[in-house]
Amino acid sequence: MDDDIPLRWLRAQRALDLRPVVGTGDPDAVFSVIQPTELTDPREFLQPRAVVLTVGVALTQETPPRSTDNEPDDDPFPAYVDHLAEAEVTAIGFGTGLFFPTLPESLVQAARRRGIAVFEVPRHTAFISILNTVTEERARRSRREQEGLVVAQEKLSAAAVHGGLEELLTVTARQLDAAVAVTDSDGRLHGSHDRTGRSAVTVAREQRASGANDSGGVWRITQRMTPQGSRFHLITMVAGHPFSPHDRSVIKHAAGLADILLQRPAYLRRSRTGLNSLALQLLLGLDGGNQSMGRVLDEASDGEGLVRPAVVAADRRADLDRAVTAADRAAAHAGRHLFVTDLPDTPLDAASALFLFRGTRAVDAIAAGFGDSASRVRIAVGEPVPWNSVTLERVQRLETAARTLTPGTHVGPYEAGTDWLDQPGVRSALDQRAAETIDRLTSAEDGLQATLATWLRSGCRVATTAESLGVHRHTVRSRLDRIASICEVDLDDPVVRAELLLVAVTRR
């Protein structure tokens, strides 16, 4: 009955100038079709819940002259209305002004007795205009239904992507005002969401096939998903109302999304098998190692096969973890996977990690991908290179460049200018100066090395250092006094600060 239109809507169309005479007694009465007919007995051609339009031309031929001696007339209208009632007609639209100047009273009385609505159709209202008006309304309702379905499907898809099976079932239940449950062919429950005091779990565990039924004012529908061998899943809905075609389309879409989510372990298993194969090839040194590595890293490359390495350094592990989470979210939004690995921690570095991005990604775009977490990390981005050119030496240069930055800043491959720090002579001088200063902190109390490194990298700002380390500013000042005493340096001297910064960022 979802294609039915309320009879009150038809009566409310002022342009048609329909004049209600008899109501059905049901304010929610509906009709399914408009059917003009001039047959005296059109039962075999009528659809249930039809609105019959007639001018009564055939009925005038069966109406004998009225008696003048008070004998009852052989009136055709009661029988005519009885025929329409047997065909489950909703209403009669009687056209006046052609064969009958007004509505026959016997028609009105018979319709009132059989619960059929009657409205007068004046001569200036053509039957075709009624048909056209109803056709346009059906088209409008169909468009609205399709638009509503698209909106519902978009909501379900978004829920599946961002919240998995649990969120998908929650949104589906809300959309349909029904309880939902997902089970497998063995009756195991994989997810459910109750709604309006109902639960679909018990019903779902009893189902083994698709189907729909209702009992005691409760409607149930089960949709079977794609089999996986002999195993399959089912989604079951339970509601206190019938499921419309719109509802069934939503259920079908939800079942498809749930099917994808439930089969995801199979895709993950194949991916894990590929990684296991790569690990064995690397372990055994087989010739196929580079080829397999290429298949794994191909997704990180651009169309030219180039990747862009980037090192992200943070003073605290939590800040790096937030950066990784933000980058993974950005990659997922773009439909890509994240390529990242931790770099070994050192006493002066809380955490750092290597990322691989497509070679076409700009430096600013890479930094933007870390979102708000970029304000608490340092990012050094290298030039685009083939994946097999990402060597440890290249990564260490990027790591050194990242350490020279202040939190919240980033540099590209042609901005850092730190290669000279790795020259043997420079490195020897820095190592010697480290032994005279920073290395003395190794045997001192915990926190001094991290405090010095964070303070130097933050531009020697006590408040920023305290916030990064999660300690009070007085604690930072006290530690700096201890560091100056142990290392025998003047931390107020800008030259000493610059020297210690270079020593700190090159410690591995």
DSSP 230-291: TB-EEEEEEESSPPPHHHHHHHHHHHHHHHHHHHHHHHHHHHHHHHHHHHHHHHHT-TTHHH
Question: Which among 403, 338, 29 is positioned nearest to 411, based on CA atoms?
Answer: 403
For 308, the 3-state DSSP assignment is: strand
**C-alpha to C-alpha distance for 405 and 397, rounded to whole angstroms:** 13
Q: Which two tokens stand for residue 428?
A: 């020897």
- Beta strands 117-121 and 91-95 are parallel
Which residues are CB-contacts of 389 (< 8 A; sequence separation ≥ 6)?
A: none
Q: Which two tokens stand for residue 264?
A: 């995801």
Question: Which among 81, 86, 87, 76 is positioned nearest to 117, based on CA atoms?
Answer: 81
Helix (H) or strand (E) holding 465, with range, is helix 462-469
- pLDDT value, residue 2: 59
Rg over CA atoms, the chain: 40
- pLDDT value, residue 420: 60
Which of the 8 DSSP states describes residue 41?
Answer: -
**C-alpha to C-alpha distance for 470 and 485, rounded to whole angstroms:** 23
Architecture of domain 296-419: 2-Layer Sandwich (3.30)
- pLDDT value, residue 67: 44
Q: Which two tokens stand for residue 441?
A: 């902190």
Q: What residue type is 402 in one-letter code?
A: A
- pLDDT value, residue 50: 96
Q: Which two tokens stand for residue 329?
A: 């979210």
Which residues are CB-contacts of 90 (< 8 A; sequence separation ≥ 6)?
A: 7, 24, 29, 30, 31, 32, 49, 50, 51, 116, 117
Contact status, residue 27 vs residue 147, Cβ threshold 8 Å: no
Contact status, residue 412 vs residue 311, Cβ threshold 8 Å: no
Tokens 């030039």 belong to residue: 383
Q: Which two tokens stand for residue 4?
A: 């039915």
Could you tell me the pTM of the whole model? 0.48
Alpha helices for 302-417 (secondary structure H): 317-333, 363-368, 392-403
Domains 5-125 and 148-263 share a fold: no
Question: Which among 462, 445, 375 is positioned nearest to 410, based on CA atoms?
Answer: 375
Q: Which two tokens stand for residue 451?
A: 């405090």
Give the Cβ contact number of residue 220 at 10 Å: 21
Furthest C-alpha separation in the chain: 137
Domain boundaries, the chain: 5-125, 148-263, 296-419, 424-505
Query: Hey, what CATH class is 424-505 in?
Result: mainly alpha
Which residues are CB-contacts of 430 (< 8 A; sequence separation ≥ 6)?
A: 421, 502, 503, 506
DSSP string computed for 54-104:
E--HHHHHT-PPPPSSSPPP--SHHHHHHHHHHTT--EEEEE-SSS-SS--
- pLDDT value, residue 205: 85
**C-alpha to C-alpha distance for 307 and 229, rounded to whole angstroms:** 40
Task: Could you please state the CATH topology (level 3) that the domain comprising 148-263 is classified under.
Answer: Beta-Lactamase (3.30.450)
Contact status, residue 407 vs residue 457, Cβ threshold 8 Å: yes
Q: Which pLDDT tens digits describe the chain residue by residue (508 residues)?
A: 557 999 999 999 999 999 999 998 888 999 999 999 999 999 999 999 999 999 999 888 654 444 444 444 579 999 999 999 999 999 999 999 999 999 999 999 999 999 999 999 999 999 999 999 999 999 999 899 899 899 999 999 999 988 889 999 999 999 999 999 999 888 888 999 998 788 999 888 887 778 888 888 899 999 988 887 777 899 999 999 999 888 999 999 999 999 888 876 666 666 777 777 777 776 776 655 566 666 667 777 887 788 899 999 988 888 899 999 999 888 888 777 888 888 876 544 468 899 999 888 889 999 999 999 999 999 999 888 888 888 888 888 888 888 878 889 998 886 555 556 666 676 777 777 877 787 778 766 667 888 888 888 788 888 888 887 888 999 989 889 988 888 888 888 888 888 888 777 776 5
Within 13 Å of residue 28, how many CA atoms lie on the same side as its CB? 1
Cα angle value 370/371/373 (rounded, 5°): 75
Question: Which among 172, 184, 21 is positioned nearest to 95, based on CA atoms?
Answer: 21
- pLDDT value, residue 287: 53
Q: Which two tokens stand for residue 487?
A: 């290392």
Question: Which among 236, 169, 243, 246 is positioned nearest to 201, based on CA atoms?
Answer: 236
Q: Which residues of 432-444 are buried (b: 16+ CB within 10 A; e: fewer)?
A: eebeebbbebeee
**C-alpha to C-alpha distance for 502 and 336, rounded to whole angstroms:** 37
- pLDDT value, residue 488: 86
Q: Which CATH number fits domain 5-125: 3.40.50.300, 3.40.190.10, 3.30.70.270, 3.40.1390.20?
A: 3.40.1390.20
Give the Cβ contact number of residue 225 at 10 Å: 19
342, 345, 349, 353 alpha-carbon torsion, rounded to 10°:
-10
